[in-house]
Structure 1
Amino acid sequence: MNKNDNIQWLTKKILKITVEIQKKFPELYDLLNETPLFLSDRKRKITIEDFRQYLLSIRMQQKTFEKNSRINI
C-alpha cells in the first residue's frame, strides 16, 4: 500500500468508527470533540502515524464506553 492508500484506508476506518459511535453512543460522540488529533508544535504535516494513533484512541474510547455501558445496565 502506498502512502495515499494508507491515509485513505485510515480515514475510512476513522469515519466508520465515528459514525458507529454517533449512532450507538451519542453521549460519547459528543466527547470526541475533546479528543482531537494531537499534533506536535514542531510538525507541519499530519503523518500516517498521527492517523493511526487517533484511530487507536477512538477505538479504545469506544471499547471502554461499551464495557462501562454493559456494567451499568
Structure 2
Amino acid sequence: MKSIDNLQDLTKKIFEVTVKIQTLYPELYFLLNETPLFMSQNEKYITPKDLKQYLTSIRMQLFTFEKEMAK
C-alpha cells in the first residue's frame, strides 16, 4: 500500500476531498473557509504533518455531515 507521506500525495488527497464536498455538499464547502490549517509554531513552512492534520479534519467534517444528512 502506498504511503501518503509526501506533499504531492497529501495535496492530491485534500483536493479530492474538497472537490467531493464542493460538488455534493456546497453548504459544507462554504464552511471550509472556517477550517484552519494548523501549523507548528516551530516550523516556517507547511509540513506533511500539517497537511495530514488538515486532511483528517476535512475528512471528519465530511463524514459527520454525511452521517447527519442520512438521518
Q: TM-score, normalised by structure 1?
A: 0.85
Q: What letter matches 1:59 in structure 2? A: R
Larger Rg: 1
Unmatched tracts of structure 1, length 5 or more = none
C-alpha separation in 2, matches of 1:8 and 1:36: 20
SS at the partner of 1:39? coil
In proportion to residue count, which structure has more helix? Answer: 1
Q: Is the 8 A contact 2:40 2:50 kept in 1?
A: no
C-alpha separation in 1, matches of 2:53 and 2:22: 20
Unmatched tracts of structure 2, length 5 or more = none
Displaced runs of 4 or more, over 4 A: none
Residues 42-69 of structure 1: CA distance to partner in whole angstroms, max 9, x if unpaired? 4211111000000000000000000001
- 1:1-73 correspondence runs (5 A): 6-71=6-71
Work out the number of aligned pairs and report it: 68
Instruction: State percent identity of aligned pairs.
Output: 59
Q: CA deviation at 1:38?
A: 1.6
Q: TM-score, normalised by structure 2?
A: 0.87
